[in-house]
Structure 1
Amino acid sequence: MLLEPPARERGFKKERLHRVLLNHPTDDLSTYEVAKRADVSQSWGYDYIDQLEAAGLVDDTRVVDPTGLYEHWRETRIHPNELSVSLQQPRDRIQETECEYALTTYEAENIHQGFLFVSETALYVDPDDIEHWLEFIEERGLIGGGNTEFRVTDEHVFYNAQTIDGVRTVSIPQLIVDLLDEDGPAVEAAHRLIEMYHNE
């Protein structure tokens, strides 16, 4: 059973910067603070933000083209490793654990916006909790396809995660980029969230 972080470090820096910029789109953070929150070197952060500015996506740290920056993030992101299982009442079962998680895609969108029918549950798990999650899956789930997708990636995915009515979800920008990677109605839901979150 394979549930582990992607075997690479390169590329996470860009993803972290995208995540921080889109979580603070109105220029309320300095370039120094963006790099610090993204956990990247100052020089690398300055250089990459300059590239985004040259592409017309940001002006200093203010996001001027949210849709374009989300597309850029989607095209350059490192996809998480995933494990699909079948769980009965997955959200309830997941909430019973003491492990760190954050829901995304359909379940998270339904909590924040309510546009999509929850056809599956997807969640990010902390790389340090993988063994606990594997035990949880062995005890309560059926492996191989199913209604629940466990995802593992860089721990920065939990940046600005939110808890609503006792349920933890990824940040709105992380949710948007995850929905853009889905098909059909999920993409429309992502664009609605962009309009709502970025007043586009």
Structure 2
Amino acid sequence: MKKIFGLVALSSIVLMALPAYAEQDIIGENSGNIEVNGTLGMDNTVEEAEIVEGTDQWINVTLPLKTIFYSTSPKAGATITSPDYTITNNSGRPVDIHFKGIAKDDPDPSAKADYMVELNGFGKANPKIIENGLATPPSSRVLIHTLGNNNKKLGKDDDLTEETDNTVTFGYVGEVTDAMDDDTITENYIMTLEFEAVSWPEDTP
């Protein structure tokens, strides 16, 4: 089973349509038989898996456990950068990534740092996550990227969709906006991302 790592990764519940199955009419009889097939441990990496569309059971994502950003100078105007990090969708369905918010972890009231940091590398949005040294959670979640499924598809009909990577490489960019009193200040945050499985539409006649 693939491990699912998270900064703090939550997934949202969406309304979904139940799949259509064959039906039978019972007329003039007082009983009917229904075939029951149960699968325990259904593989959500398989496109054909009979998992209800849009549910969290489709989510299978690998992301970093820890990330960093840094500047090499405490002076105003110093560039903030980071290593590259990767998020991978292992699922048989595409996945939307939402930035939910960021919060300082065990803040140090004596630390005085004025700087700005924003996300970098996402395809739909790269929100500013820290401003004036303060975490800036959005009032609502922000869609920042859509990953193709593990076969780099957004839909089951290859003719209707372009290949879309199932990985995204991201990092952090920013700058020190006011010179720091100390040469080195370390601050820790917890960033929350939410994942939402993208439903594939019903077959069209």
Query: Is the TM value for this pair above 0.5?
Result: no
Which structure shows the higher strand fraction? 2
Highest relative contact order (Cα 8 Å, sep 6+), 1 or 2? 2
TM-score (norm 2): 0.21
Q: Give TM-score, length-normalised by structure 1.
A: 0.22
The structure that has the greater radius of gyration is: 2
The structure in which a higher percent of residues are helix is 1
